[in-house]
């Protein structure tokens, strides 16, 4: 043993039985769901690619089941991202323990809203509009419906 002991950083606490999923597992699952959705993969297709059922993938995405290191590595390869991708934008330990409604949405939460099926279908439909003037008018209409004035009216 060394005479000088190094101080270890505090670890995130693990959930106990009955307390629900661990916030880190939820975050990793959300990042998994985000990447899968952005690639347009179904749970069934991704599950087949890594040798698990879509039900197991659902549990991973909800955070109710933890993803082993080897499975996370396989998922990262199939999804074309480094393993570190799943831990990006993870909130600090203070924010994991006590989420505050006063905090602005995290980048992950914003990405998750962008990865919803409805949002992706809307974006895909928008880019299928071949006429650029129709596409711009559609964009202005959507902004107006959402409460933002069109750029032309702002002047």
CA distance 45 to 52: 10
Average pLDDT, the chain: 79
* Portion of the chain with pLDDT greater than 70, in percent: 67
Q: What is the pLDDT of residues 64-91, one digit of tens each?
A: 999 999 999 999 999 999 999 999 888 7
CA distance 17 to 127: 47
Q: Could you give the domains of the chain?
A: 20-91 (1.10.260.40), 106-154 (no CATH)
């Amino acid at each position: 043993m060394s005479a000088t002991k190094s101080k270890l950083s505090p670890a995130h606490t693990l959930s106990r039985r009955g307390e629900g999923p661990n916030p880190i597992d939820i975050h990793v699952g959300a990042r998994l769901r985000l990447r899968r959705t952005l690639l347009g993969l179904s749970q069934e297709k991704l599950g087949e690619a890594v040798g698990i059922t879509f039900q197991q993938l659902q549990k991973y995405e909800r955070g109710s089941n933890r993803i082993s290191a080897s499975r996370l590595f396989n998922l990262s390869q199939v999804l074309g991202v480094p393993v570190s991708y799943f831990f990006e934008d993870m909130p600090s330990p203070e924010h994991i323990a006590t989420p505050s409604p006063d905090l602005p949405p995290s980048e992950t939460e914003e990405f998750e809203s962008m990865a919803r099926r409805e949002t992706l279908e809307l974006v895909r439909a928008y880019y299928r509009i071949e006429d650029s003037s129709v596409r711009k008018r559609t964009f202005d209409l959507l902004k107006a419906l959402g409460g933002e004035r069109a750029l032309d009216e702002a002047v």
